[in-house]
């Protein structure tokens, strides 16, 4: 299981948004010196618990905006650093996607063609829905990063969240668009995606990137092969390229080695693929209004009928029956 780093920068962030760190940690049932420790790693449940405690401690529906406004480069945070050293948003997002998993159970998908730049968000474990404030904070966070680096009021073309904010007016004023209901995503125009970052510093990135790569490798080494395959599938499934060869290439190993390691863990690529698809299908059926055809596409099936047959084999029921239940 991945763990997610909590660095001392949290103390700066909490101070900026007016939250007493001691009260927050007590509410979350965590040690009072947590933010002072040199290296703290939380599992997904504890990480989400910390965010739910933050929601309860503030009781403020505009908390994600307040956090977004407090994002700075003062505290070393891998995703922030990866972003601001980049040439533009188009170059920054692949870096952020790589290092985001050091600090959050979130997998970023990037759809980058000739037109708009689309960021999609998938949580590492679909069976554990994240706190609503965390989802909104991540959406706000990426818009604010673009503004921080360009020193322009970048306005996204679209922002989607499973649970739109209760105070739409405040979010519309901050983001420049209304948050619509749907799977979490932020869409930037091609012009904004190419807008130069005034903070770009490739020399600084070259200095720090090896250490971030080392930390990422250390994190991955602590995970089972099945967990690493699942993380790769979460990124690859929506692209339709979730084959064993594609996953092996993503993990930097051969197909034969990957299959051998999975076998040593008592599983197979097909079992991990089926389990990941089933978990995501249940998540989409429970938390979205997407059609079976749309879900089929997101799970990488060639056609909806293949998805329906597979879902029935996994669960003994149909997708629509599962949604009604």
Is 58 among the domain residues? yes
Please, where are the H alpha helices in 59-185?
A: 63-70, 78-84, 89-99, 132-150, 168-175
Is 16 among the domain residues? yes
Query: In this structure, are 96 and 32 located in the same domain?
Result: yes
Please, where are the H alpha helices in 71-125?
A: 78-84, 89-99
Query: What's the CATH code of the domain at 37?
Result: 3.90.1520
Give the pLDDT of the chain (325 residues) as one tens digit per residue.
456 777 767 887 888 889 999 999 999 998 888 887 767 778 888 899 999 999 999 999 999 999 988 876 555 466 677 778 889 999 988 888 877 777 788 888 888 877 899 999 888 766 778 999 999 999 999 999 899 889 999 999 999 999 999 999 999 999 999 999 998 999 999 999 999 999 888 877 776 677 667 766 666 666 678 877 887 787 778 777 788 998 888 777 788 988 998 998 899 999 999 998 888 888 888 777 778 888 888 888 888 899 999 999 999 999 888 888 7
Whether this prediction's pTM lies above 0.75 is answered by no
User: Measuring CA to CA, which residue among 145, 178, 147 is closest to residue 161?
Assistant: 178
Query: In this structure, are 42 and 141 located in the same domain?
Result: yes
Query: In this structure, are 189 and 255 located in the same domain?
Result: no
Backbone angles phi, psi at 71, to 5 degrees: -65, 125
Query: In this structure, are 21 and 166 located in the same domain?
Result: yes
Is 200 among the domain residues? no
Is 237 among the domain residues? yes
Query: In this structure, are 156 and 261 located in the same domain?
Result: no
Structure tokens at 312: 């029935």
User: Measuring CA to CA, which residue among 75, 120, 113 is closest to residue 237?
Assistant: 120
Query: In this structure, are 248 and 171 located in the same domain?
Result: no
The last residue of a domain, from among 193, 213, 232? 193
Query: In this structure, are 50 and 186 located in the same domain?
Result: yes
How high is the pLDDT of residue 220? 62
Sheet strands (E) in 162-320:
179-181, 185-188
User: How many distinct structural domains can be found in the chain?
Assistant: 2
Tell me how long the chain is: 325
Query: In this structure, are 283 and 228 located in the same domain?
Result: yes
Structure tokens at 59: 């009781």
Query: What's the CATH code of the domain at 255?
Result: 1.10.10.60
Residue 80, C-beta contacts closer than 8 angstroms, at least 6 positions apart: 71, 73, 145
Structural domain of 100? 4-193
Residue 117 CB neighbour total at 10 angstroms? 22
Is 212 among the domain residues? no
How high is the pLDDT of residue 78? 63
CB 78 within 8 A of CB 99: yes
How high is the pLDDT of residue 299? 87
How high is the pLDDT of residue 156? 98
Query: In this structure, are 184 and 229 located in the same domain?
Result: no
Return contacts of 289-295, CB within 8 angstroms, 24+ apart: 289/181, 290/183, 292/319, 292/320, 295/319
């Amino acid at each position: 299981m991945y763990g997610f780093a909590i660095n001392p920068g949290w103390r700066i962030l909490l101070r900026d948004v007016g939250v007493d760190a001691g009260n927050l940690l007590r509410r979350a049932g965590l040690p009072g010196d947590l933010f002072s420790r040199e290296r703290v790693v939380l599992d997904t449940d504890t990480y989400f618990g910390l965010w739910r405690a933050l929601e309860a401690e503030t009781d403020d529906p505009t908390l994600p905006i307040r956090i977004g406004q407090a994002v700075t480069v003062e505290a070393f945070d891998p995703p922030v650093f990866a972003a601001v050293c980049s040439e533009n948003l188009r170059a920054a997002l692949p870096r952020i996607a790589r290092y985001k998993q050091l600090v959050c159970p979130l997998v970023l998908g990037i759809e980058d063609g000739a037109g708009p730049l689309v960021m999609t968000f998938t949580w590492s474990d679909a069976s554990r829905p994240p706190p609503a404030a965390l989802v909104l904070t991540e959406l706000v966070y990426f818009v604010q990063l673009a503004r921080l680096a360009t020193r322009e009021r970048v306005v996204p073309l679209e922002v989607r969240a499973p649970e739109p904010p209760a105070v739409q007016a405040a979010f519309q004023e901050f983001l420049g668009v209304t948050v619509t209901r749907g799977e979490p995503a932020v869409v930037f125009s091609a012009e904004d995606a190419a807008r130069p970052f005034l903070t770009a510093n490739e020399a600084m990135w070259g200095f720090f990137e090896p250490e971030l790569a080392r930390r990422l490798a250390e994190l991955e080494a602590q995970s089972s092969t099945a967990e690493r395959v699942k993380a790769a599938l979460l990124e690859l499934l929506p692209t339709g390229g979730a084959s064993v060869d594609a996953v092996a290439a993503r993990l930097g190993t051969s197909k034969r080695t990957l299959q051998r390691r999975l076998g040593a863990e008592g599983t197979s690529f097909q079992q991990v693929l089926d389990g990941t698809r089933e978990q995501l299908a249940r998540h989409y059926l429970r938390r979205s209004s997407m059609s079976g055809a749309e879900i089929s596409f997101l799970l990488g099936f060639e056609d909806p009928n293949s998805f329906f047959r597979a879902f029935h084999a996994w669960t003994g029921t149909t997708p629509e029956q599962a949604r009604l239940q």
